[in-house]
Amino acid sequence: NSNARTFDYQGGDVGYIPPSYGHYVENTGNTTLHYLEILKTDKFQDVSLNQWLALTPPALVQAHLDVSDETISHFSKTKPIIVGQ
């Protein structure tokens, strides 16, 4: 059994994500989001859930997430590069 949580932040808020917890940030407002991530490590590693699922055997993804072959076919084996403005 797993849990997911959503937090709504306002300007000036600070959030904390425990080490090794998967997370993502989405700006749902209409103003610019300034996001600073601080890590206590000597290297940063980005993991794309889309890429990870695409590289996992489809039978495992279907068994655990109950998704269709069509959905799996849309997963990308390459990670997109995201560049802010």
Q: Please list the active-site residues.
A: 37
Residue 55 near residue 27, CB atoms below 8 Å:
no
Q: Which residue has the tokens 């993991």?
A: 47
Identify the sign of the CA torsion 2, 68, 57, 77: negative
Which helix (H) or strand (E) segment holds residue 70: the answer is helix 69-73
